[in-house]
Amino acid sequence: MSIRGFDWIIYGDDTDRDQQLIESISLDKDERYVTLHFTDGVDLQNVIRSIQSNDSLFAQVTEGLYQIDYLCPFRFLVPEAAAITCITLGLKSVKFYPDVFTDG
């Protein structure tokens, strides 16, 4: 399953620093992982720090709101260390709330 074309993404702590750098989200419920795909060639320090310090994110789409709870396997990765285009996290759960909209 892939989530694209979201209006915004917000992290579990109600912040949205550099969320526009996330281009898409891929979910595999059977294998229990979520992959965040990023704009190529950009500074991801704030996004990586936000992922490390949270356990969930919310993606607003036209049809409603996704809540994605994840496990971060790299809590101590130095954000400056890598030029990456995707990050794979462990998927704890994904919930979809149809017709739920927030101000983002």
Place of tokens 């919310």: 58
84-96 per-position pLDDT tens digit = 888 899 999 999 9
pLDDT band at 104 (very low <50, low <70, confident <90, very high): low
Share of the chain above pLDDT 70, in %: 89
pTM of the model: 0.86
Rounded-to-integer distance, Cα 66 and Cα 12, Å: 12
H helix and E strand count, the chain: 1, 7
Q: Mean pLDDT, the chain, as a whole number?
A: 87
